[in-house]
Chain A
Amino acid sequence: MTDFTVNKLKTFKPKQVFPKMAGIGFELYKILHKGTLSSILRAFFLGIIIVAGPWILSVISIYLIQKFAFSAISENPALFTVTIVYVYAFSLFLFGGIHYIFSRYIADMLYIEDHESIPPALISIIAVVVFLSCLITTTFIYFNDFSFVRNEILYAVSLVFLFAVINILWIMLIYVALLKEYNKIFLTYLSGTIISLLGVFILGDLYGVSGALLGYTTGQFAIIFILLLISLKSYPIKSLTLNIYMFKYFSEFKYLFFMGLFFNMAIWADKIIYWFTVGTNIPGTYFYHFISYDIPVFLAYISMIPGLVYFLVVSETKFHTKYLDFVKNLLTDTIKEMDLRKEAMLSALVKGATGLVLFQLVWTAALIFNIKRVIVFMGYPQINVMIMSILLIAVFFHMCSLVLQIYLLYLELRKEALLAALLYFLCNTCFTVTGIFYLPLVPGISYLAASMVSSLYCLYHLSQKAPVIDFILFTKSS
């Protein structure tokens, strides 16, 4: 009789449970907890820069351009604005999945303290993103007739460049979260935006919309270039080698890729569907816009920023400490220790999530009650109050869905997170199409409904599964 029963034991080993990182949040948390008013403001301000720097600045830029540099784009103001909107929208719509994979890879490398692999990973992802974005824009240009634009070639070249640059910018945004150079990063964004504005102003006057686009691109390029220079200090690029291991993450973390893809497609689905159904077309091109929805959407998105910063600095940081405490000790804890750590983690989750929801709720309510004044203050008195209010509520749920999905990912509930994103996408698409063809058109209502469905789905699974997360982790790893 053989000794196999005991030998079999050796092969039973739990798989590595990878936690994500929240490094940036910790730094800000430290600043926050100095306790003074100025430190709190500073933490939140830096949080905003890290979470949404280029995003806010782009909104401000477009606003400033339309208000003060109108002459520069007077040749075809709609073309300029729609071009910029398309670039941002489609860069997120198409590349959201890649962003998730890159974040995950960086987080894992930091966790195992393999700093050598990080710069080659950046180079690789930039190479992929540049290649894909050039392919996409050139294809797009091929199917459009831009002959009505002055300096057609310049316009096309600028468009190709801008799309690539903005795609790199999202990547850099993930990357610079590693660095603690908040002031330098802020100054970079600021100077890049000024260059963009000046570029639009000067080149726009000289070459029309094509020049304005080139000018805008120059400023954004300056941002990614300077960010790269800043990052070199902490993560020097020794040689231009590719990191093929990162690409293996695409197959290993398919769910993450598709989750990022679906989530970004979900939040853009209604906007894009509106463009092509009820929007206005710029003759000769596939450029569409739906001004009465597009502008409120951009403004409403800004309302999400305080919530995201709160999450990053407070909720996620507190949760992450307890989470690591739980996960890292899972293999050595006795039952009592394990249960105690689990309870601590769950209570951090609940506290962080409710705190965040209350915070965002109060802030959103304040905006809605003062909606008219806000609209006028922002300089868009023509915006429909009802659409704006719907969008503010929708953005609230959008943020809930995003945050809950992040919690799901922490707890390795990948299938649920992926399905939440897919559900979000399908709901938004279906509701929007139904709204357009079968119901009176109320822009934003489908986005609101889809965001609610997705949030509730996440909430349901989180409340069901987080309490038995030890069971799930153990059974999944065996």
Chain B
Amino acid sequence: MDSIVLNTSDPEKKTICIIAEGSYPYVTGGVSAWIQDIISGLDNYNFILFAITADQDNTVKYDFPPNVVQLENRILTEPVQRPGKRVNNDFFDQITTFHDEIMKNQDFNRLEWIVKTMQKYRYSNISIQKNTRSWEMTKILGNKNNPLYPFSDYYWAWLASHEYMLKILTWDIPVADLYHTISTGYAGLTAAIAKIMFNKPVLLTEHGLYNKEREIDIKRARWVLGYQRDLWVNIFNDLGKITYDYSDLVISLFEMNRNIQISQGAQRDKTMVIPNGIELSRYLDLKIESREKFSVGIVARVVPIKDIKNFIIAAKIVTETIPDSEFFIIGPEDEDMAYYDECIQLVANFKIEKNIIFTGKADVREYYSFLDVLVLSSIREAQPLVILEAYAAGIPVVSTRVGNVPEMLDYDEKLLADPKDSFKLADGIITLYQDDEYRESLVAANREKVIKYYSKTDLIATYDGLYSKQIEDFQTETGVS
């Protein structure tokens, strides 16, 4: 846990605390880029970054704009050094009732008492978890929920899952005029604490859907057995519900996610959709200089979630029809070296080394200037910025059917493939190669759409409006001028 002052804060400006979990400023990607855009675009605010990470070794991947005044690091796996105060019985009684109320009717009202108590007494997670009262509760609930599987598995799952939440409850939260959390989960819980302690407006912007993503992780993990799965899934769903309850605005990038948020417990009148935005000027005036060879590109980190292998297989299929086509994989390769090696091996096995080019981290605009088709082969996406960039640059897109992509591609069946369906992906590419007229019409329509709905200037202006309105509303509500 540390706190770094980066710049002096301007007393004239309001301060926004951005709460990000496992992303900005330590992990690159769509979400982090979005945060960077918001901060640098809104220089009429001071920003405090509240970065939640899993472990110690983090390197900052972004240049902080000058209006970032403070960086607060919180590490979930960091052991608590503070000697544990003795936890009184009343606390455990409240915790027991809290669990009963959650299980009976999803009632989280007692959280307020728990947060205030934890912030006041700073009980360490150890003094709470290694207490006979906790043990009794674990055994009673374990017997109820997990009577047929080993208790020890249940116990470790309980210990691990609650360790983080209990640590978070004792965290120091910086004072700000508005808290903006970029996901539910642990970041959402942090925002709820801020709300309870300081009664300031809280905004939630969800790019993907945190609890859905966690659920997929947990179901994929083979060592999570029996009820443990439900335990983790329930916890993330509950954290989602808590975040929705304590947020004043619940924002999603597109309609489908908004509906899911509502079904997960967000109140409808708090929800709204604000799509991603890109800096149009960077892409609109790119000169299109088509090459002799048919060029296809994918802009993505070489990691499993982007399913680069799917792209390579599709490339192999395309080369059967268009032998001298070229495929560019544009993005850093060092994030998952094992996966990168597998990709290289796959290319070698297909004997298409001549057709596939790994560019590494690069300036995408160089490639946008000549690409004929942009492909996205991901297993999971929210509202990919690369599609918007490609549209602005005048490149048609073929993609897997994930997140908001179908809507962005006008539900055009020719261009959409199910995840992992390399043949359909290849079909889409070949269609665009063969049908020039169709391609031209797509480019024009897409450009129009991106200018109208996905401009970064609009995005920033929208958030500027939301921030100032929320802060103002709260000031009138609480009577502070």
Mutual binders A and B: yes
Complex alpha-carbon distance, A12 and B160, angstroms: 8
Contact A334 B150 (CB under 8 A): yes
Distance in Å from the Cβ of A12 to the closest Cβ of chain B?
4
Is B217 close to A, CB under 8 A?
A: yes
Contact B217 A6 (CB under 8 A): yes
Is B157 close to A, CB under 8 A?
A: yes
Please name the residue on chain A nearest to B210 by beta carbon: A1
Contact B54 A335 (CB under 8 A): no
Render B369-408 as a binary contact track against A, CB cut-off 8 A, 1 for contact: 0000000000000000000000000000000000000000
Is A8 close to B, CB under 8 A?
A: yes
Evaluate whether A1 and B151 lie within 8 angstroms (CB atoms) in the complex, with A8-B54, A335-B142, A335-B143 already known.
no
Evaluate whether A331 and B164 lie within 8 angstroms (CB atoms) in the complex, with A4-B55, A4-B76, A471-B132 already known.
no
Complex alpha-carbon distance, A177 and B168, angstroms: 54
Complex alpha-carbon distance, A334 and B139, angstroms: 10
Render A5-31 as a binary contact track against B, CB cut-off 8 A, 1 for contact: 111111011100000000000000000
Complex alpha-carbon distance, A414 and B55, angstroms: 33
Is B174 close to A, CB under 8 A?
A: no
Complex alpha-carbon distance, A130 and B208, angstroms: 71
Render A310-346 as a binary contact track against B, CB cut-off 8 A, 1 for contact: 0000000000000000000011111110100000000
Complex alpha-carbon distance, A7 and B214, angstroms: 11
Which parts of B103-139 form the interface with A (CB within 8 Å)?
129-130, 132, 135, 139
Is B60 close to A, CB under 8 A?
A: no
Distance in Å from the Cβ of B235 to the closest Cβ of chain A?
9
Distance in Å from the Cβ of B108 to the closest Cβ of chain A?
20
Please name the residue on chain B nearest to A471 by beta carbon: B135
Contact A474 B152 (CB under 8 A): yes
**B146: which A residues are within 8 A, CB to CB?**
334-335
Is A376 close to B, CB under 8 A?
A: no
Is A153 close to B, CB under 8 A?
A: no
Contact B150 A8 (CB under 8 A): no
Complex alpha-carbon distance, A10 and B156, angstroms: 10
Distance in Å from the Cβ of B68 to the closest Cβ of chain A?
21
Contact B155 A474 (CB under 8 A): yes
Is B77 close to A, CB under 8 A?
A: yes
Contact A331 B150 (CB under 8 A): yes
Contact B21 A478 (CB under 8 A): no
Which parts of B223-263 form the interface with A (CB within 8 Å)?
223-224, 232
Contact of A331 among B130, B147, B152, B232 (CB under 8 A): B152
Contact of A334 among B148, B159, B210 (CB under 8 A): B148
Give the B interface residue count (CB, 8 A).
Answer: 42
Please name the residue on chain A nearest to B31 by beta carbon: A1
Evaluate whether A6 and B218 lie within 8 angstroms (CB atoms) in the complex, with A1-B22, A468-B135 already known.
yes
Is A147 close to B, CB under 8 A?
A: no
Complex alpha-carbon distance, A9 and B214, angstroms: 13
Contact A6 B232 (CB under 8 A): yes
Contact of A12 among B31, B139, B159, B232 (CB under 8 A): B159
Render B18-29 as a binary contact track against A, CB cut-off 8 A, 1 for contact: 000111000100
**A10: which B residues are within 8 A, CB to CB?**
223
Which parts of B55-104 form the interface with A (CB within 8 Å)?
55, 76-77
Render B148-191 as a binary contact track against A, CB cut-off 8 A, 1 for contact: 11111001110111001000000000000000000101000000
Is A475 close to B, CB under 8 A?
A: yes
Is A3 close to B, CB under 8 A?
A: yes
Contact A478 B156 (CB under 8 A): yes
Contact A8 B77 (CB under 8 A): yes
Is B221 close to A, CB under 8 A?
A: yes
Complex alpha-carbon distance, A471 and B232, angstroms: 22
Is B213 close to A, CB under 8 A?
A: yes
Contact of B22 among A2, A8, A9 (CB under 8 A): A2
The total of Cβ contacts below 8 Å across the A-B interface reads: 83
Contact B224 A9 (CB under 8 A): yes
Render B42-55 as a binary contact track against A, CB cut-off 8 A, 1 for contact: 00000000000011
Complex alpha-carbon distance, A5 and B214, angstroms: 8
Complex alpha-carbon distance, A332 and B218, angstroms: 21
Complex alpha-carbon distance, A7 and B152, angstroms: 18
Evaluate whether A6 and B224 lie within 8 angstroms (CB atoms) in the complex, with A12-B159, A471-B135 already known.
yes
**B132: which A residues are within 8 A, CB to CB?**
468, 471
**A332: which B residues are within 8 A, CB to CB?**
150, 152
Please name the residue on chain B nearest to A468 by beta carbon: B132
**B156: which A residues are within 8 A, CB to CB?**
9, 12-14, 478
**B55: which A residues are within 8 A, CB to CB?**
4
**B148: which A residues are within 8 A, CB to CB?**
334
Please name the residue on chain B nearest to A10 by beta carbon: B223
Complex alpha-carbon distance, A334 and B142, angstroms: 9
Please name the residue on chain A nearest to B130 by beta carbon: A475
Distance in Å from the Cβ of A455 to the closest Cβ of chain B?
25
Distance in Å from the Cβ of A284 to the closest Cβ of chain B?
56
Please name the residue on chain B nearest to A476 by beta carbon: B130
Distance in Å from the Cβ of A465 to the closest Cβ of chain B?
11
Distance in Å from the Cβ of A6 to the closest Cβ of chain B?
5
Contact B223 A334 (CB under 8 A): no
Please name the residue on chain A nearest to B156 by beta carbon: A12
Render A216-247 as a binary contact track against B, CB cut-off 8 A, 1 for contact: 00000000000000000000000000000000
**B150: which A residues are within 8 A, CB to CB?**
331-334
**A9: which B residues are within 8 A, CB to CB?**
156-157, 160, 221, 223-224
Evaluate whether A478 and B151 lie within 8 angstroms (CB atoms) in the complex, with A1-B183, A1-B210 already known.
no
Contact B221 A4 (CB under 8 A): no
**A335: which B residues are within 8 A, CB to CB?**
139, 142-143, 146-147, 151
Distance in Å from the Cβ of A345 to the closest Cβ of chain B?
16
Please name the residue on chain B nearest to A337 by beta carbon: B151
Complex alpha-carbon distance, A475 and B155, angstroms: 10
**B161: which A residues are within 8 A, CB to CB?**
5
Contact of B164 among A3, A5, A468, A471 (CB under 8 A): A5
Please name the residue on chain B nearest to A2 by beta carbon: B22
Complex alpha-carbon distance, A3 and B303, angstroms: 13
Distance in Å from the Cβ of A432 to the closest Cβ of chain B?
37
Render B271-290 as a binary contact track against A, CB cut-off 8 A, 1 for contact: 00000000000000000000
Please name the residue on chain A nearest to B220 by beta carbon: A6
Contact B217 A5 (CB under 8 A): yes
Contact of B208 among A1, A7, A12 (CB under 8 A): A1
**A333: which B residues are within 8 A, CB to CB?**
150-152
Could you say which of B77, B142, B208, B217 has the most chain A C-beta atoms within 10 Å of its C-beta?
B217
Distance in Å from the Cβ of B33 to the closest Cβ of chain A?
14
Please name the residue on chain A nearest to B161 by beta carbon: A5
Please name the residue on chain A nearest to B23 by beta carbon: A1
Complex alpha-carbon distance, A459 and B108, angstroms: 44
**A7: which B residues are within 8 A, CB to CB?**
54, 221
Which parts of A456-476 form the interface with B (CB within 8 Å)?
468, 471, 474-475
**A1: which B residues are within 8 A, CB to CB?**
21-23, 31, 183, 185, 208, 210, 213
Which parts of A109-164 form the interface with B (CB within 8 Å)?
none
Contact B159 A3 (CB under 8 A): no
Contact A334 B149 (CB under 8 A): yes
Please name the residue on chain B nearest to A478 by beta carbon: B159
Could you say which of A13, A335, A471 has the most chain B C-beta atoms within 10 Å of its C-beta?
A335
Render A184-213 as a binary contact track against B, CB cut-off 8 A, 1 for contact: 000000000000000000000000000000
**B149: which A residues are within 8 A, CB to CB?**
334
For the complex of A and B, the 5 pairs showing the least CB-CB separation, nearest first, are: A4-B54, A2-B22, A12-B156, A475-B130, A471-B135
Could you jot down 16 A-B contacts, CB within 8 Å? A1-B208, A1-B210, A1-B213, A4-B76, A5-B54, A6-B217, A6-B221, A8-B160, A12-B156, A333-B151, A334-B148, A335-B139, A335-B142, A336-B147, A474-B152, A475-B129
B residues neighboring A (CB under 8 Å): 21-23, 27, 31, 54-55, 76-77, 129-130, 132, 135, 139, 142-143, 146-152, 155-157, 159-161, 164, 183, 185, 208, 210, 213-214, 217-218, 221, 223-224, 232
Q: A1-B22, A9-B221, A471-B135 are in contact. List 11 more A-B contacts (CB 8 A).
A: A1-B208, A1-B213, A5-B232, A8-B54, A12-B160, A331-B150, A332-B152, A334-B146, A334-B149, A335-B139, A475-B135
